[in-house]
Amino acid sequence: MIHSLALAAIVALGVATLFVGGRGLRIARTSADFLVATRAVPPLLNASAISGEYLSAASFLGIASLAMSEGLGALWYAVGYLAGYLVLLAVVAAPLRRFGAYTIPDFAEGRLDSPRLRTVGTGLVVVICGFYALPQLTGAGITLQDALGTPYWVGVTVLGGIVTAAIASGGMKSITLAQALRYWVKVVALAVTALVLLAILRHPDLGSLRPAGVSRFTHPTVVDVPGREVLVLARPARVAVAGVVDGVRRHGTVALSAGRHLVGAGTRIRFPPGPVPHPAGRPALDGGAWSSPLVRIGGRSIHPLAATYGVILATFLGAIGLPHIFVRFYTNRDGASARRTTALVRSCCRCSTCCRGSSPSSAGWRPPACTSRAGPTQWCWSSPGLRPPALAETCSQR
């Protein structure tokens, strides 16, 4: 059931992407059509497209999962990035569009009169976009893996192929339409989640948004561990295991001592009520530490003020260094509409971030809140480097 629904959703979005890509293909005739969508993208459409980029997997899932595992300080990433658009608006948007170049290297060369700068700029754009595409493709592979159970390479090839086909056929026009479409899909998805959460906020099973101690399982809970992971138990527990624990394949009840245990990939463990074990290297946070507004790096509070200002500064200035955002300003009709685009982006981002801020994983939907008396709840940890925490840490009831 879940698989067929997920498949239907993915196919629908893929077909929609190809459809708008084909629409762009009919319109795109000249270089200006292909590279900058004839410079005739109205501000609202362009703002939706830029917000679609902003609301990528990184912020859609990444910040939510960071907020869940490392505390609410992770929301600074969203705030800083949004503030970065203010810098973009005040410093970059209108002048960039007025200049009349097609690309950032064109602009750098023309403005500072240096062909060498053009080469350097081209190299930087390729490097940044490469590093940007890499996690996107990884995400595509993992998402299909998670939603449909297909091998990793299927997601990378199929989703990568669809997007490449859409862009290569219709250029900027296609991708602007596709991104705008995806923005609205994502906003609706977030808004529904947020509304559901608000509707059930008073439900007693949700527990407190700010628990006094560390997270606890309130009743026996099944946990799937997708990748090799070292779990730390606060106290001894008798658990039911199917899989590999401490290097031994087991099937049945095992008494685990307090301390570290190496759990193999694909292991399923049923924990009794008690403190939730946490991955080694990522300390368990109590409610006070979790809700602190200062950034924790890897869940640890090391020079929290410096870490917070570091994140703010990096995202504040980082937003103006994103070539795929930059290039969108060339698609606006003129400087004024480029500016209006940026101002609109900020409203779009704002409404999506508000939804995200109140969506389950960032609003303190921590392990005890996941549980329900109706039946065993499944939970899984990520293995660092194998898959993004957001996907693995989503609590799902099956």
Partner 1 sequence: MTGADPPAREVVTSSPRPLDGTAAWPASDDLYSRGEAGEVLLRSLLRAQLGVTASVLVPAVIVIGMYPLLAAAVPSVAAATVGPVPLSLVVLGGGLYPPLVALGGWYVRRAERVEARFAEPIADR
Compute the least distance from the CB of residue 232 to partner 1, in Å: 25
* 54 is a site residue for partner 1 (CB under 8 A): no
Residue whose CB is less far from partner 1, 241 or 294: 294
Query: Strand, coil or helix: what is 212?
Result: coil
* 102 is a site residue for partner 1 (CB under 8 A): yes
Q: Which stretch binds partner 1 (CB under 8 A): 80-88, 177-185, 271-279, 376-384?
A: 80-88
Select the residue interacting with partner 1 from 119, 347, 396, 397 (CB under 8 A): 347
* 253 is a site residue for partner 1 (CB under 8 A): no
In this structure, what DSSP letter does residue 285 have?
P
Select the residue interacting with partner 1 from 20, 41, 49, 75 (CB under 8 A): 75
* 65 is a site residue for partner 1 (CB under 8 A): no
Closest CA to 82 of 364, 306, 311, 294: 311
Structure tokens that stand for 379 in this block: 């939970």
State the Cα–Cα distance between residues 238 and 232, nearest whole angstrom: 14
Compute the least distance from the CB of residue 138 to partner 1, in Å: 27
Q: How many residues bind partner 1 (CB under 8 A)?
A: 64
Residue whose CB is less far from partner 1, 63 or 256: 63
Select the residue interacting with partner 1 from 357, 360, 368, 389 (CB under 8 A): 357
State the Cα–Cα distance between residues 206 and 358, nearest whole angstrom: 14
Is 235 in contact with 258 (CB distance < 8 Å)? yes
* 85 is a site residue for partner 1 (CB under 8 A): yes
Query: Strand, coil or helix: what is 167?
Result: helix
Locate the DSSP E strands across 200-298. Answer: 216-217, 221-225, 229-233, 237-245, 248-256, 259-263, 267-271, 274-275, 278-279
Is 283 in contact with 50 (CB distance < 8 Å)? no
Structure tokens that stand for 201 in this block: 């906020």
State the Cα–Cα distance between residues 32 and 221, nearest whole angstrom: 58
Q: Which string of x and - marks every residue 263-292 that binds partner 1 (by CB under 8 A)?
A: -------------------------x--xx
Q: Which stretch binds partner 1 (CB under 8 A): 98-106, 127-135, 148-156, 379-387?
A: 98-106
Task: Give Dmax (Cα) for the chain.
Answer: 72
Q: Which stretch binds partner 1 (CB under 8 A): 45-53, 145-153, 234-242, 341-349?
A: 341-349
User: Is the CA virtual torsion 360, 364, 367, 368 positive or negative?
Assistant: negative
In this structure, what DSSP letter does residue 151 have?
-
Dihedral pair phi/psi, residue 208, rounded to 5°:
-80, 150
Query: Strand, coil or helix: what is 172?
Result: helix
Residue whose CB is less far from partner 1, 160 or 304: 304
Select the residue interacting with partner 1 from 10, 89, 125, 269 (CB under 8 A): 89
* 86 is a site residue for partner 1 (CB under 8 A): yes
In this structure, what DSSP letter does residue 108 have?
H
Identity of the residue numbered 82: L
* 31 is a site residue for partner 1 (CB under 8 A): yes
Give the list of residues 6+ apart from residue 167 with CB closer than 8 angstroms, or none: 21, 174, 175
Structure tokens that stand for 148 in this block: 């449909």
Select the residue interacting with partner 1 from 40, 83, 124, 240 (CB under 8 A): 83
Compute the least distance from the CB of residue 101 to partner 1, in Å: 6
Compute the least distance from the CB of residue 212 to partner 1, in Å: 12
* 197 is a site residue for partner 1 (CB under 8 A): no
Please give the torsion angle defined by the CA atoms of residues 202, 207, 210 and 212, in that order, rounded to the nearest 10 degrees: 140
Compute the least distance from the CB of residue 136 to partner 1, in Å: 24
Compute the least distance from the CB of residue 63 to partner 1, in Å: 10
- Give the binding site for partner 1 (CB under 8 A): 26, 29-31, 34-35, 72-73, 75-76, 78-80, 82-83, 85-87, 89-91, 94, 99-102, 106, 109-111, 113, 115, 171, 208-210, 288, 291-294, 304-305, 308-309, 312, 316, 335-336, 339-340, 342-343, 346-347, 350, 353-354, 356-358, 362-364
